């Protein structure tokens, strides 16, 4: 993917399946999944697409697709094509977040052109809004508060944070996503952050999604427990 400078659009699309689809004949289900997968493979030829299953971790979603591109029209076109697949006709989108990567004003670490690119097993995602009082603080005060926040995060090196910005693009201000192999470590990190000064300026940080990384094909198979005919695939990515 050819990123433009250090900014890339990231679209988090959470999908929920109509249970009636699981009662369709196996051949019809396989065809529906094949059409859905073909749309994903086409987008992923030269752009980033990650899949995560939320079966068993959320009651209101079954699958997360994270599509990334420096061109917003690419993401629009992908969802138009995806919506034409047989499976999409049995799905709703209960949660959807659009954001963009950019350098953090509180860290010297360079912004990544893409987020959520590791092979770790889990992704934890939530929208975040700050209280208006946060933006009224002097820049030096916000820097001091965030320095403590960042220091707490560094105590958990096995957890990778991805911050994407949604100002003016969507209802939330940020979409925060954490990658890790141990959900217990993420639980401990969040619990410790609750006691930080920065937490007192949080207006909203829910809903929180615990997502299991896997290929799109495996994520689709998790919807009905039936594997379509294909070669073995990696855990994450396509």
Identify the band that residue 104 occupies on the pLDDT scale cut at 50, 70 and 90.
confident
Q: Does residue 17 have a pLDDT over 60?
A: yes
Q: Give the pLDDT confidence score for residue 2 in this predicted structure.
A: 43
CA distance 25 to 42: 26
Phi, psi of 110 (to 5 degrees): -65, 140
Long-range contacts of 231-234 (CB under 8 A, 24+ apart): none
Identify the band that residue 108 occupies on the pLDDT scale cut at 50, 70 and 90.
confident
Token pair belonging to 24: 């369709």
Q: Does residue 52 have a pLDDT over 50?
A: yes
pLDDT in tens, 164-211: 999 999 999 999 999 999 999 999 999 999 999 999 999 999 999 999
Q: Does residue 233 have a pLDDT over 80?
A: no
pLDDT in tens, 69-78: 999 999 999 9
CA distance 234 to 185: 24
The position carrying tokens 């979603």 is 61
Q: Does residue 232 have a pLDDT over 60?
A: no
Q: Give the pLDDT confidence score for residue 237 in this predicted structure.
A: 52
Please indicate, yes or no, whether the overall pTM of this predicted structure exceeds 0.85: yes
Query: Once rounded to an integer, what is the mean pLDDT over residues 68-93?
Result: 97
Q: Give the pLDDT confidence score for residue 63 in this predicted structure.
A: 98
């Amino acid at each position: 993917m050819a990123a433009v400078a250090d900014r890339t659009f990231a679209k988090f699309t959470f999908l929920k399946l109509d249970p009636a689809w699981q009662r369709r004949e196996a051949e019809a289900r396989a065809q529906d999944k094949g059409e859905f997968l073909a749309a994903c493979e086409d987008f992923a030829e030269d752009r980033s697409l990650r899949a995560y299953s939320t079966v068993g971790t959320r009651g209101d979603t079954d699958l997360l697709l994270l599509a990334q591109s420096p061109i917003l029209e690419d993401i629009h076109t992908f969802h138009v094509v995806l919506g034409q697949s047989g499976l999409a006709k049995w799905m709703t989108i209960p949660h959807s977040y659009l954001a963009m990567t950019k350098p953090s004003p509180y860290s010297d670490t360079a912004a990544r052109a893409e987020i959520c690119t590791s092979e770790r097993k889990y992704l934890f995602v939530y929208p975040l809004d700050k209280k208006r009082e946060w933006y009224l603080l002097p820049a030096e005060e916000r820097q001091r508060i965030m320095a403590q926040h960042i220091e707490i995060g560094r105590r958990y090196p096995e957890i990778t944070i991805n911050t994407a910005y949604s100002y003016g693009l969507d209802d939330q201000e940020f979409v925060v996503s954490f990658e890790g192999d141990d959900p217990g470590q993420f639980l401990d990190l969040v619990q410790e952050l609750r006691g930080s000064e920065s937490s007192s300026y949080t207006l909203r940080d829910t809903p929180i999604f615990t997502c299991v990384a896997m290929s799109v094909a495996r994520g689709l198979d998790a919807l009905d427990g039936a594997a379509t005919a294909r070669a073995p695939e990696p855990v994450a990515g396509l």
